[in-house]
Amino acid sequence: MALTLLQIPPELISCILLYLSARDILSCRLTCRTLYDLSGSSPMRYLVQMERSAVTDDVRPGLSYPERLRILEKREEAWEVLDFRRSVQVCVPFASTGIYDFTGGAFLLGTRLSSTSRRLTEGYSYLPLPSLSSVGDQKLEWVKLGLGVQVLDVGLAVHEHDLIAALTACVFLSFLLRKADKNISFERRMTFEIQLLSFSTGQPHPLAQQPIIFITTKSVLLGHCNVLIEVVGDFLALLITFPWARNENEGHCFEITNTCNPFAYHVQLRSSEWGAYSYFSFLTQDTLVIPNLVRNTLELVKIVIDNDDIPRLATLCVLNLPPLTRRASIVRLGCRAEPNPTGTDPLAIPAPSSRPFRDRAEDAIILFHMMIEDVQLHPGQFHFPDMRPFAFIVHRRALVEQIPAAYRTCPPFGSTPEPERAPVPVPWAAWGVAVTRWFEGDPASMRWITTTAGQRAVTMEDGIPTPIIVRDFNPYAVRSIRARAVASGQDGPCDWSAELPNGNRMTLKVEESVIAAGSVFIEDVRSSLPYVEIVTWAEYQYEGVLIDEERILGLKVRIWRHRR
């Protein structure tokens, strides 16, 4: 005789429920009293709260489900009202450079030899930061590591690999003997290499077969270069751009490197136009979004590894951005998302704090920040062009959904099922209005890159002092505040605001925002991605604010003055 579900022992029913999604667990709670009680246990509530908070569990031993649930609920309660439960001030006792990062529970700064040295970055220092879930006070100490060579930039994979990848540069003289006149000429050239180091120890990474990987050699005459490094799974993506190079063959260098293999491969980007590329961001472990400044598009590309084991990029989709007028041009189009996706292999090290979970990469938002040059045309008059800053937010998932279904079903790093051809760009109105939210003149997103974590973004108004503003794009948070607005008597989908008990102000933003057409955009730029905004009642003397999974970092700039 077949048994019904409720005839199974409750312990087995609980085990079965653990394999359900959060949505299915909530559905079970509505069926009968027995399933309601079983679905209300700590493990089930933790799974539901994980879904609402868009986090994934690292399955660390030693923490019970009630403890995990308490830590997660405590974090969400603090973010919901922007309750700063603890404030710690830390000095920077060394001369820092422009290199910085904020990820994996650590804040990193590039360092010089000394405050009086004019030499460029020759190492880095990082500060492990305390967690709300940590027991007792932690002593905050900077960890300093020197590499003895110029460092151009670093990429971090602290959580996944305990890895820091440092791009270094070394200048040398190249001599050339010309047979025609038998004269010797020389040229200053620069060698670019990647050093793969363990983040926690500063020693060569134990999983790297070759801890120093040669990338390329370029002429010093190309001038200043911009660098972006991202590590996901076993692959490191490196983009080096030379803003002053007018030769498309020298203007950029894009490399895909296997961190466990001593080879780096030059990968050709689709466009060879000068100045087209300067940023990229991973969407999944094998797909990237690469903004194209020249064509005003977002290119979604896939890393494909054929039988020769050499990676290449296959363009899957091209998304148009709002069309610009003839007098406007993009001079900067950057992007950043935190955390990065990870590979399919288990994590190499435990989580960097006692927190048992981390934000889900696939649900994270991507912040795109744009600087558009607006050339004022007046006959007979010369005007310096106006620089207009813009920023927009979109979920990683929303961009992945724009990839054709046939490509989304391809195995990771596998070839595309159809012959590759240049895709037809998707018009902005067909994809962008409902899934993005645009902001004009957001100063924080232009000055700092680490201003998003998961589905939250932090910013400040221009000027000092100013309040801190946190925007939460989690659809569950939006739904919760919308229910609160309806309960307060609001009728219809419109913006709603309320003062919180701690004096901060909460605002639900669901109405469509519009950036009017004019000298920059041909048409009105409409966007309607809903979000919840918290603005602090207090004002702060910060030059900038950064954010990670559980803290906000306020920066105060100190100017070094030297006595002769």
Maximum CA pair distance of the chain?
100
Q: Does residue 562 carry a pLDDT above 50?
A: no
pLDDT at 297: 96
The Cα 254–Cα 240 span in angstroms is 6
Q: Does residue 250 carry a pLDDT above 80?
A: no
pLDDT at 181: 57
Q: Does residue 24 carry a pLDDT above 50?
A: yes
Average pLDDT of the residues in 347-355? 54
Q: Does residue 79 carry a pLDDT above 80?
A: yes
Cβ distance 444 to 545 under 8 Å? yes
Place of tokens 């494909």: 304
The Cα 253–Cα 275 span in angstroms is 12
pLDDT at 349: 53
pLDDT digits (tens, 9 = 90+) for 168-179: 998 877 665 555
Q: Is the peptide bond before 501 cis (omega within 30 degrees of 0)?
A: no
The token pair that represents 18 in the structure block? 């653990």
Q: How confident is the model at residue 351 (pLDDT cuts 50, 70, 90)?
A: very low
Q: How confident is the model at residue 96 (pLDDT cuts 50, 70, 90)?
A: confident
The token pair that represents 136 in the structure block? 């007792």
pLDDT: which is higher, 132 or 27: 27
Cβ distance 441 to 364 under 8 Å? no
The token pair that represents 288 in the structure block? 């990237």
Cβ distance 284 to 295 under 8 Å? no
The Cα 23–Cα 29 span in angstroms is 10
φ, ψ at 17 (rounded to 5°)? -65, -30
pLDDT: which is higher, 14 or 482: 482
The Cα 110–Cα 121 span in angstroms is 6
The secondary structure of 58-109 as a DSSP string is ---TT--HHHHHHHHHHHHHHHHHT-----------S-EEEEEEEETTEEEE
Strand order in the sheet with 456-460: 452-453, 456-460, 468-472, 531-535, 505-509, 496-499
pLDDT: which is higher, 148 or 180: 148
Q: Does residue 243 carry a pLDDT above 90?
A: no
Q: How confident is the model at residue 180 (pLDDT cuts 50, 70, 90)?
A: low
φ, ψ at 44 (rounded to 5°)? -70, -40
Q: How confident is the model at residue 15 (pLDDT cuts 50, 70, 90)?
A: confident
- Look at the alpha carbons of 112, 114, 119, 122 in this order and tell me if their dihedral is positive or negative: negative
Q: Does residue 480 carry a pLDDT above 50?
A: yes
pLDDT digits (tens, 9 = 90+) for 267-297: 777 655 677 898 999 999 999 999 999 999 9
- The pTM of this model reads 0.90
The token pair that represents 513 in the structure block? 């925002």
The Cα 195–Cα 187 span in angstroms is 25
Q: How confident is the model at residue 363 (pLDDT cuts 50, 70, 90)?
A: very high
Structure letter (DSSP) for residue 148: S
The Cα 358–Cα 59 span in angstroms is 11
The secondary structure of 20-61 as a DSSP string is S-HHHHHHHHTT-HHHHHHHTSHHHHHHHHHHHHTEEE---T
φ, ψ at 498 (rounded to 5°)? -155, 150
pLDDT digits (tens, 9 = 90+) for 183-202: 666 677 889 999 999 998 89
The secondary structure of 175-229 as a DSSP string is EEE-TTT--EEEEEEEEEEEEEEETTT-SBPTT-SSSEEEEEEEEGGG---EEEE
